[in-house]
A and B are shown apart, each in its own frame.
Chain A
């Protein structure tokens, strides 16, 4: 079986995620889409790992998962903090860092 299909699925998932990050305004959904992008990348890593017949890609995938877990922690924490301060849950409204 060729690796092409796996990569195609991976690319679709990644692109969907990216599209979501760029279009959605709810930070929760943005965060979910980020996870989607990460998992798309993970899929490609695992596929390559299989193609080369060694474990390097899988190890990288594990690292990505760890990072993703951390990121979700922080991201969700921030969302909760935003909610508690009664700020709008909308990334377009939260733009105090503009120049």
Chain B
């Protein structure tokens, strides 16, 4: 089978899974829909592996393959086809997406077991995977935009999955609106590029770009690339379009794990890597991406220090890690950024799954304030969390260590002001270690809370009255609310298998690319970045070893600090908080970004909307335009209506008179 056929099959299975679970929702009893969904994604993963094997059989110079099913819109200079592009970059992405998705589907089977919307959940989840695969396999801008928008829609559906929770529906709307801002950026950016290249095909665009469609630093290209970046920032939760991601934690935990950590939010990273021939000619756009990435990784890290909702801490950590990736692919560290994307997918999905397990043990409660001492009660979850935490902090030999340091190494090699980014990256690494282990120490160490003791005694805690963890509202357990049943990894085999496999990935994925030893990722991705000048910069040994040493040291210092503050001397956090109250306020209020956006965008728009509704619509629309038109029609019809008296004799007289008048006219004419 040819490589592109495998690519089409990768798309077909999740779509089939969506339709099968959605259309047959009445007939699926128990866990059936979950197994169908999981199996569909697993088959897609198998096909992705097939694509990989088939791709490696080709000569490296011919590893970019396009397959088109039919012309989608071919008119007036537009050449949109139903085409996919299978090359090392897209195969890399489909492997990560389908691989992690399979495990998260498996985890969800147990996690969502008690939910009334079980079948709907898997239908949405499969739809999401299909959209994401469409996004990464798209061979032209049109399909890319379609996949991009589908992913946003799927994210909306899954965030507001518990649609009777007001907090969840609000978060869903927020995510959707911000994602649409990104979609608009992507569409406009595409237009700027299309205007010069005259083709929507991705490879065609790159070919024309290499052939000189744009000059170096061309204004239209820079504008187009910055608009593409707007799309990437919205999807990847970069400042200032990040505020939806923490709120998206209202969705079920496996959704946070899949969409808001492992796959969807990395779409921006993929986009920048995919568009690298354009970005390399627009250095201003690259700089914007790098600076925003660096800012995001710092700001999100500091917010992560002060949050108390366990899922939100991980969400800010995700933002921060994606900041690294965006910075990486913006400075030309393509392989490193994508490598980090993969390792991050493993360990962040693992951390979310662990968080889901703890939330299950707490009976739906998410606040770190109320957790503690779960170490003995949940040894498996604890182990997985430690593995994920070490990988996230970048402790050797866990996977995050290799990928993060490689991004920073390439950043430093660009020289000049990129050193600032380098320093910011390491400050971020220290913050990462601190907030990660703060979370672990608070949830698993210290005095066991009542729930943990209950679990040690062999009984899983269930809240007497289910409450919304965000605002304390009392809830039902009907459809549209979380079900009454909670599950922890220790008691459910599918969850255990999924977390175990991800833990192996979080430990081992880093070995794919060890500096100076092996270059699996570099070598594999090289054909996709054949025209790039920035792809092969690894030269300075001193910098490499210094970076590795600094990274290790910072991670260990961070863990040690967290240990001192939250385990060795439990009162320290309170002392620090009191000493730096303004800073703490800033962090706990998330740098006031929500308030800022509210003041700059929401309030003015709401005010102008109110003005339009109260003044413009009443005066101009209702009274002048519609009022005027209806007035004219009404007066005209009243005049005509008066003639229709209903007297037949009167009509006959008019008829005779009319004919007589016409007759006279002709008489006088002749």
Contacts and interface: CB of A to CB of B under 8 A. Distances in A.
A94 B656 CA distance: 21
A84 interface: no
Interface stretch (A15-23, A46-54, A58-66): A15-23
Interface stretch (B585-593, B596-604, B639-647): B639-647
A22 B656 contact: yes
A97 B640 CA distance: 14
B668 interface: no
Contacts of B647: 91-92, 95
Nearest to B643: A99
A98 B645 contact: yes
Interface string A78-99: 0000000000000110111111
Given A98-B644, A99-B640, A99-B644, A91 B649 contact: yes
Contacts of A22: 649, 652-653, 656
Interface string A2-24: 00000000000000001001111
Find the residue from A18, A23, A96 having the highest chain B CB count within 10 A: A18
A23 B645 contact: no
A18 B640 contact: no
A21 B644 contact: no
Contact of B649 (A92, A98, A99): A92
Contacts of A94: 646, 648
A94 B647 CA distance: 8
B40 to A, nearest CB: 65
A96 B644 CA distance: 10
A91 B643 CA distance: 17
Nearest to A19: B656
A99 B652 contact: no
Main secondary structure of the interface of B (DSSP, over half): helix
Contacts of B640: 99
A24 B648 CA distance: 11
Nearest to A18: B656
Contacts of B643: 99
Interface residues of B, number: 13
A95 B653 CA distance: 16
Size bin of chain A's contact surface = 10 to 19
Interface string B400-428: 00000000000000000000000000000
A92 B653 CA distance: 14
A95 B645 contact: yes
B395 to A, nearest CB: 89
Interface in B618-654: 640-649, 652-653
B649 A23 contact: yes
A92 B645 CA distance: 10
Contacts of B656: 18, 22
A23 B653 CA distance: 9
Contact of A91 (B641, B642, B644, B648): B648
Interface in B453-509: none
A99 B641 contact: yes
B667 to A, nearest CB: 14
Nearest to B644: A99
A55 to B, nearest CB: 26
A39 B641 CA distance: 34
A96 B649 contact: no
B652 A98 contact: no
Contacts of A97: 644, 646
Contacts of A24: 649
Contacts of A30: 648-649
B637 to A, nearest CB: 9
Contacts of B644: 97-99
B645 A21 contact: no
B242 to A, nearest CB: 65
A96 B640 CA distance: 17
B653 A98 contact: no
A89 to B, nearest CB: 13
B649 A95 contact: no
A38 to B, nearest CB: 14
Interface in B251-273: none
Given A91-B648, A92-B647, A99 B653 contact: no
A96 B648 CA distance: 11
B655 to A, nearest CB: 9
B83 to A, nearest CB: 62
A94 B651 CA distance: 13
A33 to B, nearest CB: 10
Interface string B85-116: 00000000000000000000000000000000
A96 B645 CA distance: 9
A91 B645 CA distance: 12
Nearest to B638: A99
A99 B642 contact: yes
A87 B626 CA distance: 43
A74 to B, nearest CB: 15
A25 B649 contact: yes
A50 to B, nearest CB: 23
A94 B619 CA distance: 45
Contacts of A25: 649
A98 B645 CA distance: 5
A92 B649 CA distance: 8
Contacts of B642: 99
By Cβ-Cβ distance, the 10 closest A-B pairs, closest first, are A95-B646, A99-B644, A98-B646, A99-B641, A91-B648, A21-B652, A22-B653, A97-B646, A22-B649, A22-B652
14 contacts: A21-B652, A22-B652, A23-B649, A24-B649, A25-B649, A30-B648, A30-B649, A91-B649, A92-B647, A95-B645, A98-B645, A98-B646, A99-B640, A99-B646
Given A99-B640, A99-B643, 6 more contacts: A18-B656, A21-B652, A95-B647, A96-B646, A98-B645, A99-B642
